[in-house]
């Protein structure tokens, strides 16, 4: 297939895969998780001594540590895996579209949907807190976290998409990664805690905010960004290779 | 003439399960039927043809090229699988737009082609309905439309008649015949029912347990069906006398009377001669038959006979 054909195929994958993600019943879970974050943020804002540091810590915990990897896992690990399981992927793999192109179509569609969802939830969470509290500096904090969520959406999409291709039950390894590696190991003191996507995202946010514990995270933003870019590229190359070589009985 | 499909001693196994076993076939242009019972390896063969899976051993050429990791070739193949994969939340026409996009079709050319294939499969009226509400026959038609959309020279239809009622089955058979005769596509179509394939083509390959059992004209296959030994159940009056008459005939291999003497199973090596002689034998024995049924008048028996199982 020539370049034009690949472009049309890529666009088709993008449109239909995004639509499928959005129209799937998973959106109920996304809404529930989003509502939970907003409710907790709003409630936290009404407590004594709640200030912009509190808002920053809550966003760090609720959005960056919890919602971002969990939503990416829910959407990413099941995206290609579900199509392989219900065999609706047959239309994609029996078309002349190069599998590398279709994989990138899945990836970009997943990333766009996650970025939109997470941006909305981050904004609503921030608004919930600051409406109840009235602290200043809200916009900068919300934007910093929104930026980190968008970068995180890209990296986690690459990670969980490849898990969905190579594993029959990607959700288990995904849960292990999110809660044991990122959540537990990532919170340990010392070098080992830095080997997580979450840590690199926190480094990036720390450079943009001056409130909350996240502002004290040490590290170089350039290095953190480079690590995430390299990780994303490596995961994408792995995913493309696995998808291309995959037999689909 | 170059065959459109040529498989030479190919094998495919999934762990300990064998899908195809030293399978060889040459498929010429036109409509070719692949007939075999469930689990014979028909779907495995189609998956190999479309490059969804790769052979473990052997050589496979489709339209002169190896199909594995060859997406370019899929522009020349239209595939209709045997299972339901259509997304229920989409409308028929939307689904075809999706398929068209994957085949680098767009704009008015795509719209026109969608209208054309919907007309061919008789789905114009229902194309703007959600596919979740489609009947089995409508889904089969739309799957064929999807396979046909990019106008490929070769169509692979895996069990397209399964689960449809007799009226729809007849219409689908007519459509499949026209895909070759009117629209010029070469078609490989599978089924586990020989007479369905017989209504589409005379060129048939029988496969069983992952192997090619017989390839050729349908009349040769029919000959195999009537020529192999049959076990025939007889029920009626005067079965003992009937048994005496039967053992005097040279086509009878064995007779097994039931203890109650109201029925028997007779094994014959020339079924056609047996059936021709039956009226005369019944008269001779003074027997009134209530039931006569061959236990081996099916493909499964032919397969077992041919592979000497």
Question: In this predicted complex, what is the ipTM?
Answer: 0.87
CA B34 to CA B144: how far, in whole Å? Answer: 17
| Cα-based distances in Å from B229 to A57, B11, B218 | 83, 31, 19
Q: Which residues contact B197 (CB under 8 A, 6 or more apart)?
A: B33, B35, B189, B191, B204, B218
Amino acid A3: pLDDT: 85
Least confident of A51-65, A189-203, B72-86, B288-302: B288-302
Q: Which residues contact B202 (CB under 8 A, 6 or more apart)?
A: B217, B218, B219
Instruction: Check pLDDT > 60 for residue A174.
Output: yes
Amino acid B272: pLDDT: 81
Average pLDDT over residues B224-234: 78
Amino acid B295: pLDDT: 79
Tell me if chain B has a CB within 8 Å of the CB of A14. no
CA B191 to CA B149: how far, in whole Å? Answer: 23
The order of strands in the sheet holding B57-62 is B17-27, B5-14, B57-62
In the 8-state DSSP scheme, what is residue A168?
S
Contact between residue B148 and residue B79 where contact means Cβ atoms under 8 Å apart: no
What residues in A contact B52, CB-CB < 8 Å?
90, 93-94, 247-249
pLDDT tier, A112 (very low <50, low <70, confident <90, very high otherwise): very high
Percent of chain B with pLDDT over 90: 67
Average pLDDT over residues B90-100: 95
CA A16 to CA A24: how far, in whole Å? Answer: 12
Amino acid A77: pLDDT: 94
Question: Given an 8 Å threshold on Cβ–Cβ distance, is A87 in contact with B83?
Answer: yes
CA B74 to CA B155: how far, in whole Å? Answer: 11
What residues in B contact A2, CB-CB < 8 Å?
104
Give the total number of structural domains in chain A. 1
Instruction: Check pLDDT > 80 for residue B139.
Output: yes
Amino acid B299: pLDDT: 64
- Helices B92-102, A3-23: axis angle to 10 degrees equals 140
- Going by their DSSP bridges, the two strands B77-80 and B154-157 should be labelled as parallel
Collapsing DSSP states into helix, strand and coil, what is residue A137?
A: coil
Query: What phi and psi values does residue B290 have, to the nearest 5 degrees?
Result: -100, -30
Instruction: Check pLDDT > 80 for residue B307.
Output: no
pLDDT tier, B174 (very low <50, low <70, confident <90, very high otherwise): very high
Question: Given an 8 Å threshold on Cβ–Cβ distance, is B101 in contact with A12?
Answer: yes
Average pLDDT over residues B87-111: 94
Instruction: Check pLDDT > 90 for residue A173.
Output: yes
Amino acid B137: pLDDT: 93
Q: Which residues pair with B8 in a beta bridge?
A: B59
| Cα-based distances in Å from A173 to A45, A82, A112, A156 | 35, 16, 24, 13
Residue ranges of the domains in chain B? Answer: 5-222, 228-306
Q: What is the CATH number of domain B228-306?
A: 3.30.70.100
Contact between residue B131 and residue B92 where contact means Cβ atoms under 8 Å apart: yes
Residues B179-199: tens digit of each pLDDT = 999 999 999 999 988 778 888
Instruction: Check pLDDT > 90 for residue A110.
Output: yes
What residues in A contact B71, CB-CB < 8 Å?
1, 95-99
| Cα-based distances in Å from B7 to B13, B24, B73, B152, B188 | 16, 5, 17, 20, 14
Average pLDDT over residues B141-169: 94
CA A133 to CA A143: how far, in whole Å? Answer: 18
Task: Give the DSSP H/E element, type plus range, for residue A203.
Answer: helix A197-206
Residues B270-301: tens digit of each pLDDT = 888 888 899 999 999 999 989 988 877 666 66
Tell me if chain B has a CB within 8 Å of the CB of A12. yes
CATH: 3.30.420.40, 3.40.50.300, 3.30.70.1450, 3.40.50.12280. Which one for B5-222?
3.40.50.300
CA B134 to CA B91: how far, in whole Å? Answer: 10
Minimal Cβ distance to A98: which of B53, B71, B146: B71
Closest residue of B to A5, CA-based? B104
Amino acid A148: pLDDT: 95
Task: Give the DSSP H/E element, type plus range, for residue A98.
Answer: none
Tell me if chain B has a CB within 8 Å of the CB of A85. no
Minimal Cβ distance to B74: which of A2, A20, A96: A96
Instruction: Check pLDDT > 70 for residue A139.
Output: yes
Collapsing DSSP states into helix, strand and coil, what is residue A210?
A: coil
Amino acid B193: pLDDT: 81
Amino acid A71: pLDDT: 94
pLDDT tier, B92 (very low <50, low <70, confident <90, very high otherwise): very high
Contact between residue B178 and residue B189 where contact means Cβ atoms under 8 Å apart: no
Q: Whole domain around residue A78: which residue ranges?
A: 3-245
pLDDT tier, B230 (very low <50, low <70, confident <90, very high otherwise): confident
Amino acid A189: pLDDT: 76
Minimal Cβ distance to A248: which of B52, B103, B104: B52
Tell me if chain A has a CB within 8 Å of the CB of B52. yes
CA A195 to CA A183: how far, in whole Å? Answer: 12
Residues B249-269: tens digit of each pLDDT = 998 999 999 998 899 999 988
Residues B106-132: tens digit of each pLDDT = 999 999 999 999 999 999 999 999 999
What is the count of residue pairs from A and B with beta carbons less than 8 Å apart? 82
């Amino acid at each position: 297939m020539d370049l034009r054909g690949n472009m049309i195929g890529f666009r088709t994958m993008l449109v239909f895969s995004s639509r499928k993600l959005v129209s799937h019943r998973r959106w109920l879970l996304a809404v529930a998780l989003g509502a939970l974050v907003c409710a907790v943020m709003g409630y936290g804002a009404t407590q004594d001594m709640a200030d912009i540091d509190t808002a920053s810590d809550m966003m760090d915990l609720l959005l960056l540590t919890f919602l971002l990897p969990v939503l990416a896992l829910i959407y990413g690990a099941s995206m290609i895996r579900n199509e392989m399981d219900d065999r609706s992927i047959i239309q994609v793999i029996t078309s002349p579209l190069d599998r590398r192109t279709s994989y990138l179509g899945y990836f970009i569609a997943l990333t766009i949907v996650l970025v939109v969802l997470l941006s909305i939830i981050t904004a609503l969470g921030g608004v919930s807190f600051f409406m109840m509290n009235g602290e200043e500096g809200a916009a900068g904090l919300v934007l910093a976290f929104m930026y980190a969520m968008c970068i995180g959406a890209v990296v986690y999409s690459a990670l969980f998409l490849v898990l969905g291709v190579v594993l029959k039950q990607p959700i288990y390894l995904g849960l292990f990664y999110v809660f044991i590696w990122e959540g537990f190991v990532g919170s340990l003191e010392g070098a080992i805690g830095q080997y997580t996507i979450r840590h690199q995202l926190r480094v990036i946010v720390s450079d943009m905010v001056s409130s909350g514990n996240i502002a004290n995270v040490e590290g170089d933003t350039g290095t953190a960004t480079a690590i995430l870019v390299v990780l994303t590229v490596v995961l994408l190359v792995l995913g493309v290779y696995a998808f291309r070589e995959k037999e689909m009985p | 003439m170059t065959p459109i499909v040529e498989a030479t001693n190919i094998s495919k196994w999934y762990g300990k399960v064998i899908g195809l076993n030293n399978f060889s076939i040459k498929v010429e242009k036109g409509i070719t039927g692949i007939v075999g019972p469930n689990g014979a390896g028909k779907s495995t063969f189609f998956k190999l043809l479309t490059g969804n899976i790769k052979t473990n051993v052997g050589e496979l050429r489709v339209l002169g090229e190896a199909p594995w990791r060859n997406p370019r070739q899929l522009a020349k193949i239209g595939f209709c699988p045997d299972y339901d994969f259509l997304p229920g939340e989409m409308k028929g026409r939307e689904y075809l737009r999706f398929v068209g996009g994957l085949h680098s079709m767009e704009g008015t050319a795509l719209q026109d082609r969608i209208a054309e294939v919907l007309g061919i499969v008789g789905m114009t009226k229902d194309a703007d309905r959600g596919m979740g509400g489609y009947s089995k026959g409508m889904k089969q038609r739309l799957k064929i439309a999807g396979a046909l959309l990019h106008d490929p020279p070769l169509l692979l239809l895996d069990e397209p008649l399964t689960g449809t009622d007799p009226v729809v089955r007849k219409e689908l058979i007519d459509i499949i015949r026209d895909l070759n005769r009117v629209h010029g596509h070469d078609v490989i179509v599978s089924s586990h029912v020989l007479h369905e394939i017989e209504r589409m083509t005379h060129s048939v390959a029988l496969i069983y347990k992952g192997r090619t059992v017989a390839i050729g004209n349908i009349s040769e296959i029919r000959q195999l069906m009537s020529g192999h030994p049959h076990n025939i159940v007889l029920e009626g009056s005067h079965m003992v006398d009937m048994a005496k008459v039967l053992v005097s005939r040279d086509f009878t291999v064995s007779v097994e009377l039931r203890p109650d003497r109201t029925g028997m199973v007779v094994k014959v090596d020339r079924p056609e001669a047996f059936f021709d002689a039956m009226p005369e034998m019944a008269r001779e024995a003074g027997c009134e038959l209530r039931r006569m049924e061959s236990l081996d008048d099916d493909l499964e028996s032919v397969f077992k006979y041919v592979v000497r199982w």
